Structure 1
Amino acid sequence: MRINKYIASCGVASRRKAEELILNKKVKVNGKVVEELSLQIDENKDMVEVNGVKISQDEKSVYILLNKPEGYITTVKDQFNRLSVVDLLSKVEERVFPVGRLDYETSGLLLLTNDGDLTYKLTHPKHEIEKTYIAKVRGKLTEREIKDFRSGLHIEDYTTAPAKLKILDYDNEKKISTLEIKIHEGKNRQVRKMCKAINHPVMRLKREALGELTLKDCKIGEYRHLTEKELNYLKNI
């Protein structure tokens, strides 16, 4: 088994993060620092260490849906000592990491797991699933802005894929629009950048759904384990 896949299967990190650990010389196999990303190991014989800790595939796989509040980061560690989403999982004994990310100011649906293979699948561009957001933005959108948003916007060094946009409400007194936005991509702060590109900056943003998964029966700051039906859905995408 390739070393990054083995690390992911042990619930330490995704395959991509595992490669970063290897490049940073944080991984050893049988006492020797791993130099090659393509290294193949025998999971039944070789001893693998990450950051000096021996890892194994014994840990059971867990799959968690969290309703993330604003003010939490989706990385495990932070140089500014801000709260992490893992701080909300005090009763979860297994090491888990987020599938994708939600930025610090964004709330809503976030998956966490120690299944590196599923994380790799769900974050790979080939398998990007539809993400539904509710955004409160400044101002009232014009028909032209709506058309541009739906067609794709040039942001920084890329053009977004066509997106779905629905106007849910407009508060004439506060000059605030409530939008339902659906995208397939998952680039950093993409929804915020798209709204800014049409001159309607985001004031509040929440992810309501990930494909068929929703926040039903999960209040802000709370989490639950995925049902068998939900897990089968993700694995069969």
Structure 2
Amino acid sequence: TSRRKAEKLIQEGKVTVNGKVVKELGVKVSGTERIEVEGIQLTKEEHRYFLFYKPRGTVSAVTDDKGRTTVADYFADIPERLYPVGRLDYDTSGLLLMTNDGDFANLLMHPKNEVSKTYIARIKGIPEREVIRQLERGVVIDGRKTAPAKVKMRSSDKTKDKAIVEITIHEGRN
């Protein structure tokens, strides 16, 4: 279940550790205890990792209130609850890691770990050198300056006024 639902189950007294009801959040266990939820013993789930090429027109989420296809829909036959590590926009395609390993996912996604992510984008227009330098120094978004990006022009087509750029960042913002 989700962390929020798990917290609710604990607060409602539906969780026991070694036969004792636990209602306090944040109780530490070593992994050798017998943990039950509503009388059903939990077993440790084997971690699963999948590299998934997300197609355009797919949401990087487990569910979608608009009924759109999600990345989780592609893993309907996998018994474990998988979720995407990071996100790509609906109209963007690219490689995502899908896993049930929350600790590993957090390690990759938490900003303090500064894990680099590389994007290749086809853009309208050809960015001038000064625009690239601004990205490399960091730009202000919603009043906060971004961390410096690594930017590389991969190709440009002046007749079509398009370019392909490679951008490597280690922070994520909407």
Q: TM-score range by the shorter chain?
A: 0.7 to 0.9
8 Å Cα contact 1:76/1:86 also seen in 2? yes
1:40: which partner in 2?
A: 28
Q: Does 1:184 align with 2:173?
A: no
The one of the two structures with greater contact order (alpha-carbon pairs below 8 A, sep at least 6) is: 1
Matches within 5 A, 1:196-211: none
Distance in 2 (CA, whole Å) between partners of 1:180 and 1:32 is 53
Q: Does 1:110 align with 2:73?
A: no
Q: Does 1:159 align with 2:145?
A: yes
1:172: which partner in 2?
A: 158
2:73: which partner in 1?
A: 87
Change (3 A) 1:120 1:56: farther
Distance in 2 (CA, whole Å) between partners of 1:179 and 1:58 is 43
Identical aligned residues as a percent: 40
Q: How many residues align?
A: 167
Distance in 1 (CA, whole Å) between partners of 2:51 and 2:37 is 30
8 Å Cα contact 1:132/1:180 also seen in 2? yes
Q: Does 1:126 align with 2:112?
A: yes
Q: Unaligned stretches of 5+ in structure 1?
A: 1-11, 189-237
- Aligned-partner residue type, residue 93 of structure 2: S
Which one has a larger percent helix, Structure 1 or Structure 2?
1
Which deviates more, 161-170 or 97-106? Answer: 97-106
Q: Does 1:63 align with 2:52?
A: no
8 Å Cα contact 1:151/1:162 also seen in 2? yes
Larger radius of gyration: 2
Change (3 A) 1:60 1:26: same
Change (3 A) 1:76 1:34: farther
Q: In the alignment, which of 115, 123, 131 is matched to residue 137 of structure 1?
A: 123
Change (3 A) 1:39 1:161: same
Q: Deviations over 1:177-236 (max 9, x none)?
A: 110111111222xxxxxxxxxxxxxxxxxxxxxxxxxxxxxxxxxxxxxxxxxxxxxxxx
Distance in 2 (CA, whole Å) between partners of 1:182 and 1:55 is 44
What is the root-mean-square deviation in Å for CA atoms of aligned residues? Answer: 2.6
Change (3 A) 1:45 1:121: same
Distance in 1 (CA, whole Å) between partners of 2:124 and 2:138 is 20
Change (3 A) 1:180 1:145: same
SS at match of 1:81: coil
Q: TM-score, normalised by structure 1?
A: 0.62
